[in-house]
């Protein structure tokens, strides 16, 4: 009998102990998590992807767009760039501000390279940066220009970038879009800006021959859809008024034809699926190599920059709107 009582006592103690343990667990689960235990709190704002399109010198308008982010103390969460969009987007993702990028292009903005037949006899800084390569499979050599850009940042690889970046090129043999997101940065930019006939194609490590990304995806906002909440597409392919243009020369015909193709691709892309915000800055009538018109292009792009600035304000949580660092211009 004593043995039975002892056994019953032990069972009762075990049950009470289990109940106590369960009560402790429930209490712990009901307690609010401390800062150390919880996930980092988000600021409540949406993630933003910025697609910077191709367009030659008209792509200098991208600088005005980036300035809108800088004015508000913001930055995109991911950048995708094609051709000139890859050049400017790459510098921005490396940590340069819009003003610093403007200073870089200002260093050789005294040149007008759209008339290549006049280039050899012009005393222009950009001629020194991008020498002629007559007799080769391209008119210009991009290596000196890329070394000039690289001298303005210590960043050399995608892994070192401050903002995730997707660079777009085209496989010459298959015509397929090639996305470059790892490895060395400046060879990827060289491939993305390799306009056929203007710059040499760039061989890749895996055996592909890469040319300008504008040949397959001139406005790569589609590559950002699964990466961010809001996608902004900046189309700098520009517009020309035939009434204001002289009869085209050989180089104008070659490169304007390339631009026409890119415009057709962009129209089809937008017909299929629109970005959350589509911006088409006025590029002041700049053609492919009108880098001497940098300030005219930036002035013309200000309405689009102001539109973006307002959207960025609207997308931010209420408390963040007081952090604006610059007025609409």
Active site residues: 83, 212
CA distance 75 to 78: 9
309, 98 contact by CB (below 8 A)? no
Tokens of 324: 């604006």
Spatial neighbors of 166 by CB under 8 A, at least 6 apart, are 78, 79, 80, 81, 179, 180, 181, 220, 223, 224
Tokens of 53: 């399109």
**CA quadruple 105, 111, 112, 114: dihedral sign:** negative
Find the DSSP H helices in the chain: 2-30, 61-71, 84-93, 98-106, 116-119, 125-129, 143-150, 185-192, 250-272, 294-300, 302-315
Q: Is 165 in a helix, a strand, or coil?
A: strand
CA R_g for the chain: 27
CA distance 172 to 199: 13
51, 234 contact by CB (below 8 A)? yes
Tokens of 300: 């013309």
């Amino acid at each position: 009998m004593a043995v039975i009582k002892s056994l019953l006592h032990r069972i009762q103690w075990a049950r009470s102990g289990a109940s106590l343990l369960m009560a402790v667990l429930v209490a712990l689960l009901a307690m609010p998590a401390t800062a150390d235990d919880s996930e980092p709190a988000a600021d409540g704002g949406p993630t933003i992807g910025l697609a910077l399109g191709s367009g030659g010198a008209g792509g200098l308008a991208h600088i005005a767009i980036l300035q809108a982010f800088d004015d508000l103390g913001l930055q995109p969460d991911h950048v995708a760039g094609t051709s000139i969009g890859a050049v400017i987007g790459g510098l921005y993702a490396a940590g340069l501000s819009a003003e610093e990028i403007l200073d870089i292009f200002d260093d050789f903005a005294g040149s007008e390279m759209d008339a290549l037949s006049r280039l050899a006899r012009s005393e222009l800084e950009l001629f020194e940066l991008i020498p002629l390569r007559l007799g080769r499979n391209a008119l210009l050599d991009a290596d000196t220009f890329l070394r000039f850009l690289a001298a303005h940042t210590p960043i050399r690889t995608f892994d070192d970038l401050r903002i995730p970046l997707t660079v777009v090129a085209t496989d010459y043999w298959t015509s397929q879009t090639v996305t470059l997101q790892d490895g060395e940065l400046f060879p990827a930019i060289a491939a993305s800006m390799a306009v056929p006939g203007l710059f040499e194609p760039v061989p890749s490590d895996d055996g592909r021959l890469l040319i300008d990304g504008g040949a397959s995806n001139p406005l790569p906002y589609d590559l950002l859809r699964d990466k961010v909440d809001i996608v902004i597409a900046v189309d700098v392919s520009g517009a020309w008024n035939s009434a204001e243009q002289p009869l085209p020369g050989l180089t104008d015909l070659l490169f304007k034809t390339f631009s026409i193709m890119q415009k057709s691709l962009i129209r089809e892309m937008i017909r299929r699926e629109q970005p959350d915000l589509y911006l088409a800055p006025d590029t002041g009538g700049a053609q492919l190599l009108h880098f001497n018109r940098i300030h005219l292009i930036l002035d013309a792009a200000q309405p689009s920059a102001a539109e973006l600035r307002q959207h960025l304000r609207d997308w931010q949580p209420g408390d963040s709107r007081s952090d604006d660092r610059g007025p609409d211009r």
